[in-house]
C-alpha cells in the first residue's frame, strides 16, 4: 500500500518450485496498469501474446537478459504469458503519479486457480486513508461464468468484461465493484477453477492481493 508522499510496499513471494508457467494478465479497473516478469532460471523462454491498447512495442531489438532481471510492459489489453519454466508475474498500476505505484500484486498462474475462495475486503485504515472503492477481478473459463456464486448468490453483474483465449480455452475477465468491506466468498458451483484478485483504492493509496493459490499438493 502507498501514501501520497511516502511509499510502503510489500508483495507475496512464493517458492520457486511453486511458480507457474501459464498466466492470464488482466488490468485494474480505471487505472494505468503495468505488469512485470521475473524469471529466476537462466535460459527461460517466455512467450507473451501481447495486445497493446495503442502504439508499437519496442524492446531493444533482440536482447536476452540474464536470470533475475525484470521486463516491464505498459499500455496493454488482457494478455497471456507462457514460459518454459516457472516465472513470477507482478501486476501494478501508476494512477497517482510517475514517482510511485498505487497497487502491486503477485498474480496467480492458471495452475494456481481454485474453485472456491473466502476473502476479506479491508477498510481498517487511518482516518483519511480508507479506500473509497473495492473491486474483484475474476479470470474464469467463459462457459463457467454462469456458475459463479458470490456470498451464496449467483453473480450476474459486472462493471467491465473482456475475454481472451489460452490453450484453446476462452476465458472471461470480469471486474465487479464490492459494495461493503468484511468477509466474502466466491465459488463456482461445478468446481471449475478460476483466478481472483481483490483490490481497494483511493486517490493516494491502494492495496491488492490474490485471494488464494492452489498448489500441486492440494494445499490452498
Cell (9 digits) for 35: 505488469
Report the pLDDT value the prediction gives residue 102, as an integer from 0 to 100: 67
pLDDT tens-place values along the chain, 220 residues long: 444 455 566 667 788 888 999 999 987 765 567 788 888 888 888 888 765 554 444 444 434 344 444 555 555 677 899 999 999 998 877 655 544 446 788 999 999 999 999 999 987 777 766 677 888 999 999 999 999 999 999 987 888 788 899 989 999 999 999 988 899 999 999 999 999 999 887 766 678 899 999 886 554 4
Cell (9 digits) for 116: 472456491
Q: How far apart are CA 162 and CA 176, in angstroms?
A: 12
Report the pLDDT value the prediction gives residue 94, as an integer from 0 to 100: 62
Report the pLDDT value the prediction gives residue 62, as an integer from 0 to 100: 36
> Which residue's entry shows cell 459486472?
158
DSSP character string of 14-43: --GGG-EEEEEE---TTS-EEEEEE--STT
Q: Where are the alpha helices (DSSP H) in the chain?
A: none
Report the pLDDT value the prediction gives residue 212, as an integer from 0 to 100: 92
Question: Over the Cα atoms of the chain, what is R_g?
Answer: 17
Report the pLDDT value the prediction gives residue 91, as an integer from 0 to 100: 85
Reference 90, options 71, 113, 64; nearest CA is: 71
Given its phi and psi angles, is residue 43 left (phi above 0), alpha (psi -120 to 50 degrees) or beta?
left
Q: Are 92 and 101 in contact (CB under 8 A)?
A: yes
Cell (9 digits) for 167: 490453450
> Which residue's entry shows cell 467491465?
160
Cell (9 digits) for 41: 532460471
pTM: 0.81
Q: How far apart are CA 73 and CA 20, in angstroms?
A: 19
In sequence order, the 6+-apart residues with CB closer than 8 A to the CB of 107 are 23, 25, 35, 89, 90, 91, 195, 197, 210
Report the pLDDT value the prediction gives residue 59, as an integer from 0 to 100: 47
Amino acid at each position: 500500500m502507498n501514501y501520497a508522499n511516502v511509499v510502503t510496499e510489500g508483495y507475496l513471494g512464493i517458492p520457486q518450485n511453486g511458480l507457474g508457467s501459464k498466466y492470464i494478465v488482466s488490468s485494474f479497473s480505471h487505472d494505468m496498469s503495468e505488469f512485470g516478469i521475473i524469471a529466476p532460471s537462466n535460459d527461460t523462454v517466455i512467450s507473451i501474446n501481447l495486445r497493446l491498447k495503442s502504439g508499437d512495442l519496442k524492446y531493444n531489438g533482440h536482447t536476452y537478459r540474464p536470470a533475475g532481471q525484470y521486463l516491464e510492459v505498459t499500455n496493454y489489453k488482457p494478455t497471456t504469458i507462457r514460459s518454459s519454466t516457472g516465472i513470477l508475474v507482478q501486476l501494478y498500476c501508476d494512477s497517482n503519479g510517475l514517482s510511485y505505484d498505487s497497487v502491486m500484486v503477485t498474480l496467480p498462474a492458471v495452475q494456481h486457480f481454485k474453485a472456491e475462495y473466502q476473502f476479506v475486503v479491508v477498510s481498517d485504515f487511518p482516518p483519511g486513508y480508507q479506500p473509497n472503492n473495492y473491486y474483484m477481478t475474476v479470470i474464469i473459463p467463459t462457459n463457467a461464468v454462469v456458475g459463479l456464486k458470490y456470498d451464496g448468490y449467483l453473480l450476474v453483474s459486472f462493471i467491465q468484461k473482456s475475454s481472451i483465449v489460452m490453450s484453446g480455452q476462452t476465458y472471461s475477465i470480469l471486474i465487479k465493484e464490492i459494495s461493503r468491506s468484511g468477509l466474502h466468498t466466491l465459488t463456482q458451483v461445478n468446481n471449475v477453477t478460476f483466478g481472483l484478485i481483490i483490490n481497494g483504492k483511493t486517490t493516494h493509496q491502494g492495496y491488492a492481493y490474490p485471494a488464494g493459490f492452489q498448489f500441486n499438493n492440494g494445499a490452498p
